[in-house]
Amino acid sequence: MWLDPHRPRPFAFVSHGHADHFARHQRVLCSPGTGHILVKRYGVKASKIEALDWGEQRIINDHHITLHPAGHITGSAMIRIEGPDQSILYTGDFKTRSSHTAEIAEFPKSDILIMETTFGRPQFVFPPTDEIEKQISRFACETLEDGETPVFFAYSLGKAQEALAILHNAGIETVVHKTVFEMTQACREIKVDLPNPVLLEKNIPPGVAVIAPPNAVRARAIRSHKKRRTAMLSGWALTPGSQYRYQVDQVFPLSDHADYPGLLESVEKVSPSLVYTLHGSTREFARDLRAKGIEAWSIYGDDQLELLESASPEIPLKSELSRPTSDLRGLSELLESLTTTASRLKKIELLSIFLQDCNDEELPFVTRWLSGSGITHLGHVMIRQALLEVTGFPLAKYKTVSASQNDTARTARLLLEEAPLNPLAHSFKEVATHFDQLRTADGSIAKTQLFSCFLQQCHPAEGETMVRLLTGGLRAGAKEGLYEEAVAKAFNLSPSDIRYAAMLTGDLGEVAIAAKNKTLDQIQLRPGKPIKPMLASPSENTEDIIKWHDSKDIPLWLEPKYDGIRSQLHVTPNGAHLFSRDLRSLDNEFPEILEAARALPSCLLDGELIAYAEGKRLTFFDLQKRLGRKKIQGDLFLGAAIPVRFIAFDCLYAQKSLIDSPLEERRKALESLELLDPFTTIPLIRSNGTDIKALEREFKKAMSDDNEGLIAKNCLSSYQPGRRGQSWKKLKGVMPTLDCVVIAAQQGHGKRAGVLSDYTFAVRDKESGELRTLGKAYSGLTDNEIEDLTDHFQKTTIEKISRRVVKVEPTIVLEIAFDKIRPSKRHDSGLALRFPRIKAIRSDKSLDEIDTLQTAKKLV
DNA sequence: TCTGATGCGTC
DNA sequence: GTCGGAC
DNA sequence: GTCCGACGACGCATCAGA
């Protein structure tokens, strides 16, 4: 018999109904209350459950087994196993204080005690429960009086019911999230004295409090409710930074675990001769017991997601740490306000004021940092390493914190708050120098070292900002467009002028300084300086294209959409250059193209690089082999094996800038260049803009020529760099689909951190009968669908594969659309999809109706 | 020296 | 590349 | 309509660890 095992076992004791203590065992021993919860929460078959009443005795292999209330949540039990020589008590999770929904804990005397020590450090002393309850009620009342909604986050089983009882006793009307609703009903069914719960519908009615599980922080009904004040109910409220960690307005230390005095008290009652400790501060608590003359050892395994050790006394807490006023601090504070305000206008206002305060030297690079360029990024592995160096924490601790955050920057801040730091003031210039050093440092070890030294001199908040900047994940809800408007506002210019200049340079920093000095008009297009390519908006079908064109008099211009690499060819008297879609230089990768371009006059061409050999186009994957190469070495060989052509479809400069000229004129300029191999001009179809049949024919032809589809262009439009405007439309082929079953689900990042957002799907191999994975997808589902699926997958989890991934029962059939299917080593089907997306959740289909590997292979 | 994990940039 | 959500 | 941030597979480079 296993005790609370994480993996499915033939026979296991399950102490209570929380997910971290449960797996799909063949037979389960538990209290009747827990048994009922397992049925309701995880859909466990009642026949698999062997319930044992409090004090009732069972004999298994000559051992007397009894269960005793643990006081953690409804039904939570300790198990006592008495053998011929000695007795063992395993506590599961427990608490010593009384509560509204859990039975009062009993501590039978035993020789060996295996106990949980989640809060096994002396600083964990919870205030009296009635005191906490009063605070909670007061928070709810005050919030309601202010016309706002109090929202409590609490585990859906246990804490949520406590909260419901507390609010009910205080006479506060409460609505609860779906999972809380279900768990409350389950508790009521086993005679726990709780008010009838009211389910939270789409919108929160006025005058009520809300109880939701912590992972509903991002649920739509709650997020969209602006007038809310949030509170987290957790014992971790006692740790520094918890309010920040949970991103709530308030935290209350309402806990279902024993605090430090409670742990000691329970050891005393059991009076064991040997203690093993589990969860949380296992080593510390065992050490404390040994100091009292009780033999005690920790069983390693800090598998509790929420675990966060508190600062040791010699390290100053966050509040005591000085936070020097500095440029960097200003930037931190700016980012913080940007993140918290949803209003676009407000963000622009904040940014513009900030930019006005920068001097000429700072302005360009600060603008670049904010708009996400000009910083070499550090990967999260290097950042993790630097954090471990500064804090001296073990990797396990990083992982625990990171698992609860899913955000490197926030993880950094939490860890730094417990680290011995020496915050100094940092000017922008110093920060810029540091970024430079990081960029030029050789190797990841040197970079890590540099960064950890810098972090040591940062206040945690500034450390977080540095990490945000270095990971590029500002998550401030602002990108290019908004920054352009901010620059315009800061220097009193029109946003369109700023945008135009930004299009030309692709460097907002340069634009900002020009704006400040009123020299914007000096920014002009010229070959050698890359500009952002114009993009096409997608359209559904040929009908859309006709509707969009909407003209009898103007021809509809069509070009095939090649499957290559978008690139810009700049030819100047001093040499030629190639740039990629995001303005990276491709010069090293395609030297033979540059060589050939020397024969061309000065010009700037927009086009597509494609792989082409022996009169035939090769695939994108062939072409990709030539990307990312650092050394020119072997280029001769590669150039021969995978020759490349540049297919030009636009000309932005020929003697003068043609950016503002209509496409017609640009095309003329392009044709007058009379390009020769390896340069070609894209075939152009000047079609009648009203004949849908003709359009269909052209589209079919483009597809049968192995193109991705067609690009439709308005021949009178100017070139709009960097915008996915309406002057160009793309039309792609109808995608094939396969019906697949989900076999694993993965936790998301950022705004998808509380949900299982990413699904591994599989098809059936007819030969072996096995399921074979084909790929992963999330794209295509709405937030609500993801929430529902998360719920479903939590209930149908078979086992935890890794920190983020769970294996689930194959119950959900998805219709997966994709562009192409091809052989691959990534998945065990030996196939992979290009651009997979979820077209539909096929709840009408069952596992035996999914597509087969053999069908999939035919589509290759 | 090889391999797998990670980062980065292309679609 | 894909997509949904927010403004 | 437009921007933004969640994500897919693939190929090359780099680095840690076998």
Q: What integer pLDDT is reported at residue A316 of this predicted model?
A: 34
A550, A582, A804 from A718: Cα distances, Å: 18, 20, 47
Q: What integer pLDDT is reported at residue A302 of this predicted model?
A: 38
Angle at A803 between CA A801 and CA A804, to 5 degrees: 85
Please report the DSSP string for A56-76 in residue order: --EEETTEEEEEEE-SSSTT-
A544 contact to strand C (CB, 7 A limit)? no
Q: Alpha helices of A602-745 — where are they, by DSSP H?
A: 620-624, 635-641, 663-672, 692-704
- Tokens standing for residue A400: 């625990």
A365, A578, A593, A603 from A680: Cα distances, Å: 39, 15, 12, 15
Give the domain A2-123+260-298 fold: Metallo-beta-lactamase; Chain A (3.60.15)
Q: Which residues contact A616 (CB under 8 A, 6 or more apart)?
A: none
What's the pTM value of the predicted model, to 2 decimals?
A: 0.67
- Would you say how long chain A is, in residues? 860
How would you write A515-533 as a 3-class SS string? Answer: HHCCCHHHCCCCCCCCCCC
Q: What integer pLDDT is reported at residue A395 of this predicted model?
A: 75
Q: What integer pLDDT is reported at residue A313 of this predicted model?
A: 27
Tell me where in chain A the CATH 3.30.470.30 domain(s) lie: 535-627+640-732
A474 contact to strand D (CB, 7 A limit)? yes
CA A856 to C1' D9 (Å) is: 17
CA A34 to chain centre: 33
Architecture of the domain delimited by A535-627+640-732: 2-Layer Sandwich (3.30)
CA A854 to C1' D9 (Å) is: 21
A837 contact to strand C (CB, 7 A limit)? yes
CA A352 to C1' D3 (Å) is: 19
A780 contact to strand C (CB, 7 A limit)? yes
Please report the DSSP string for A580-602 in residue order: -TTS-B-TTT-HHHHHHHTTSPS
User: Around A225, how many Cα atoms within 13 Å sit in the side-chain half-sphere?
Assistant: 26
Tell me where in chain A the CATH 2.40.50.140 domain(s) lie: 737-858
Amino acid at A111: D
Selection from A233, A399, A391, A385 nearest residue A302 by Cα: A399
**Phi first, then psi: what are they for A104, rounded to 5°?**
-75, 130
Burial classification of residue A857, based on how many CB atoms lie within 10 Å of its CB (0-12 exposed, 13-18 middle, 19 or more buried) = middle
Regarding beta strands A709-713 and A556-561, do their DSSP bridges make them parallel or antiparallel, or are they unpaired? Answer: antiparallel
Angle at A136 between CA A130 and CA A142, to 5 degrees: 130
Exposure pattern of A98-107 as b/e (b: 16+ CB <10 Å)? ebbbbbebbb
Which nt sits closest to A444, CA to C1'? D15
CB distance A807 to A801 below 8 Å = yes
A783 contact to strand C (CB, 7 A limit)? yes
Angle at A550 between CA A546 and CA A556, to 5 degrees: 65
Q: Which residues contact A745 (CB under 8 A, 6 or more apart)?
A: A756, A758, A759, A760, A789, A790, A793, A805, A806, A808
Chain B nucleotides with an atom closer than 7 Å to a protein C-beta: 6-11
User: Around A564, how many Cα atoms within 13 Å sit in the side-chain half-sphere?
Assistant: 24
Residues 772-791 of A with CB under 7 A from strand D: 775-779
- Tokens standing for residue A105: 């804990």
Q: What integer pLDDT is reported at residue A305 of this predicted model?
A: 27
> Where are the extended beta strands (E) located within A169-328?
174-176, 209-212, 228-233, 250-252, 274-280, 295-298
Which nt sits closest to A477, CA to C1'? D4
CB distance A261 to A95 below 8 Å = no
Q: Alpha helices of A282-379 — where are they, by DSSP H?
A: 282-291, 327-340, 344-356, 362-370
CA A478 to C1' D1 (Å) is: 17
CA A549 to C1' C1 (Å) is: 25
Q: Roughly how many angstroms between the first and final C-alpha of chain A, as a whole number?
A: 49
Residues 590-649 of A with CB under 7 A from strand D: 621, 624-625, 627-631
Write the Ramachandran bin of A374: left for phi over 0, alpha for psi from -120 to 50, otherwise beta: left
Q: What integer pLDDT is reported at residue A146 of this predicted model?
A: 83
Tell me where in chain A the CATH 3.40.50.10890 domain(s) lie: 129-252
CB distance A99 to A256 below 8 Å = yes
**Phi first, then psi: what are they for A464, rounded to 5°?**
-60, -45
Architecture of the domain delimited by A129-252: 3-Layer(aba) Sandwich (3.40)
- DSSP class of residue A852 equals B
A732 contact to strand C (CB, 7 A limit)? yes
The helix (run of H) or strand (run of E) holding residue A496 is helix A495-505
| Count of other CB atoms within 10 angstroms of residue A303 | 14
**Phi first, then psi: what are they for A47, rounded to 5°?**
-70, -20
Q: Of A95, A178, A561, A820, which residue is the catalytic one?
A: A561
d(CA A119, CA A18): 18
- DSSP class of residue A202 equals S
Architecture of the domain delimited by A737-858: Beta Barrel (2.40)
**Phi first, then psi: what are they for A847, rounded to 5°?**
-55, -40
CA A671 to chain centre: 47
CA A379 to C1' D14 (Å) is: 12
pLDDT in tens, A494-524: 888 888 888 777 778 888 999 999 998 888 8
d(CA A846, CA A588): 52
Low-confidence ranges of chain A (pLDDT < 70): 215, 217-221, 223-224, 226, 240-241, 243-245, 247, 300-321, 340-342, 372-377, 403-406, 439-446, 472-480, 631-640
- Tokens standing for residue A220: 């739509």
Question: Strand pairing partners for A117?
Answer: A280
pLDDT in tens, A95-131: 999 999 999 999 999 999 999 998 988 888 999 999 9
d(CA A690, CA A546): 6
Which nt sits closest to A343, CA to C1'? C7
Amino acid at A717: S
- Tokens standing for residue A182: 């279900």
Residue A561 is a catalytic residue: yes
- Tokens standing for residue A422: 């020496």
- DSSP class of residue A394 equals -
**Phi first, then psi: what are they for A820, rounded to 5°?**
-145, 155
A784 contact to strand C (CB, 7 A limit)? yes
Number of H helices and E strands in chain A, helices first, is: 28, 37
Burial classification of residue A674, based on how many CB atoms lie within 10 Å of its CB (0-12 exposed, 13-18 middle, 19 or more buried) = exposed
CA A410 to chain centre: 13
- Tokens standing for residue A54: 């409090």
The helix (run of H) or strand (run of E) holding residue A746 is strand A737-747
CB distance A720 to A663 below 8 Å = no
Angle at A86 between CA A84 and CA A89, to 5 degrees: 125
Question: Strand pairing partners for A113?
Answer: A89, A275
Identify the CATH class of A327-482.
Answer: mainly alpha
